Amino acid sequence: MAEHGHHHGASKATGFHLKLREGTQSLHDQAESGNFQVRMVSGELARIEFSAFLGQMHSLHTVLDPALQDAASRDPRVAQIFDESHLRLGRINQDLADLQCDGPGEPLPSIAEFNQYVNRKLKESPSSLIGVLYVKEGATNGNKFIAKKLRETLGLGEDKAMGYLDPHGKDQRRCWNAFKEQLNELELDQAEQEECLDAAKETFKLMMTVSQEIDATKQSVTAG
């Protein structure tokens, strides 16, 4: 995205946040130019495809939301940064209802595998889930932009179906700035920070895979 291509250099990043940002920068560039994201931004993405995407996010957050809550109860660093505004399941349910969808459907293999990964990390190292949270929160920056386009394309009304893509609404800037500050206040040692970075990379890769798989599903449908 030309007009958004320079955001990584736009503001000063420091500390643990800088580590996560630099360590995932090339993945972000890839994610941003992925087919699915490009079509979402250009407004081509049909309601049925957006619903399929949200259905997959439903499967993901069915595991991730409680895992984050659980991690927060086990690890004070997670508790320090995690709050209820990071939960997405309720919003996804409302979005799917707004879209008048049949329901979330079967999780793709990539989602099922990631859910196992999340549960494994929850047991092994609850603080590593901060890396997943970082990608989920960071992505709201770009998703807000996509939501703006989709509101126009889908024509469902301002307040409909965008709870997942635009969870913070007018508080986006404030939430993201606070989140970045909180990242840097966490007392995580080098090894723990590395674990978070690994989890962040896994999350990026998952989101790209899901987008590709949803694309493929659509192609196989239209191909007959």
Site map 11..30 versus ligand HEM, x via CB under 6 A: x-----x--xx------x--
Distance of closest approach, residue 21 Cβ to ligand HEM, in angstroms: 4
Q: Binding segment for ligand HEM among 46-54, 102-110, 124-132, 137-145 (CB under 6 A)?
A: 137-145
Distance of closest approach, residue 143 Cβ to ligand HEM, in angstroms: 7
Scanning the chain, the segments in alpha helix (DSSP H) are 7-10, 15-33, 35-42, 47-74, 76-81, 89-98, 109-124, 129-154, 172-185, 190-222
Which residue among 138, 147, 164, 175 contacts ligand HEM (CB under 6 A)?
138
Instruction: Give me 134's structure tokens.
Output: 């970082």
Residue type, 1: M
Instruction: Give me 120's structure tokens.
Output: 């494994």
The answer to whether residue 162 forms part of the interface with ligand HEM (CB under 6 A) is: no
| Total residue length of the chain | 224
Q: Is there a contact between 45 and 36 (Cβ–Cβ < 8 Å)?
A: yes
Nearest of 144, 142, 116, 121 to residue 60 by alpha carbon: 116
Which residue among 55, 107, 131, 142 contacts ligand HEM (CB under 6 A)?
142
Distance of closest approach, residue 67 Cβ to ligand HEM, in angstroms: 17
Residue type, 84: E
Q: Binding segment for ligand HEM among 4-12, 46-54, 104-112, 160-168 (CB under 6 A)?
A: 4-12
Distance CA 186, CA 195 (A): 14
Distance CA 164, CA 167 (A): 6
Which residue among 135, 154, 188, 214 contacts ligand HEM (CB under 6 A)?
135
Interaction site with ligand HEM (CB under 6 A): 1, 4, 7, 11, 17, 20-21, 28, 31-32, 37, 41, 134-135, 138-139, 141-142, 145-146, 204, 207
